């Protein structure tokens, strides 16, 4: 257990539905990252926050994706109008925000869109 939690751990939904995932980082960490990992591939960066500010978004993050970190603590990732191609593991990580440091990963939320 790294101290980063994600909820839910698994989600099955039908195409077109909206889904929301939550990440609770290690409490003193001010950086929070979202990644997506498809089967057999390494994770891909989606977005990251410094406290409540969203500092960078990947081009992978289409208009159907939105992420928030309203109070600089937990974060949510919402996918609207899900598509089958959204099926993946969504990983969250957190860090203190120092230049040379480790990111601590949560267990991930596995999404299956039918």
Partner 1 sequence: KNEVEQSPQNLTAQEGEFITINCSYSVGISALHWLQQHPGGGIVSLFMLSSGKKKHGRLIATINIQEKHSSLHITASHPRDSAVYICAVRKENTDKLIFGTGTRLQVFP
Binding site for partner 1 (CB under 8 A): 2, 31, 33, 35, 37, 40-45, 48, 55-56, 58, 89, 91, 93, 97, 99-105, 107-108, 110
Nearest approach, Cβ of 85 to partner 1 (angstroms)? 18
Nearer to partner 1, 81 or 112 (CB): 112
Nearest approach, Cβ of 20 to partner 1 (angstroms)? 19
Kindly report each contact of residues 105-109 with a partner whose C-beta sits within 8 Å and lies 24 or more positions away, as own/partner: 105/2, 105/4, 106/2, 106/4, 106/5, 106/6, 106/23, 107/5, 107/6, 107/9, 108/6, 108/9, 108/37, 109/6, 109/7, 109/8, 109/9, 109/10, 109/11, 109/21
Nearer to partner 1, 85 or 99 (CB): 99
Nearer to partner 1, 72 or 107 (CB): 107
Nearest approach, Cβ of 75 to partner 1 (angstroms)? 15
Nearest approach, Cβ of 17 to partner 1 (angstroms)? 22
Nearer to partner 1, 33 or 65 (CB): 33
Q: Which residue has the tokens 């081009």?
A: 59
Q: Are 78 and 61 in contact (CB under 8 A)?
A: no
């Amino acid at each position: 257990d790294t101290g980063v939690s994600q909820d839910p751990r698994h989600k099955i939904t039908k195409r077109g539905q909206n889904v929301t995932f939550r990440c609770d980082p290690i409490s003193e960490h001010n950086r929070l990252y979202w990644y997506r990992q498809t089967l057999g591939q390494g994770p891909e960066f989606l977005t990251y926050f410094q406290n409540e500010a969203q500092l960078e978004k990947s081009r992978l993050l289409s208009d159907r994706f939105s992420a928030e970190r309203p109070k600089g603590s937990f974060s949510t990732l919402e996918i609207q109008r899900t598509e089958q191609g959204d099926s993946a593991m969504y990983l969250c990580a957190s860090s203190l925000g120092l230049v040379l440091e480790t990111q601590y990963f949560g267990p991930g939320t596995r999404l299956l869109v039918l």
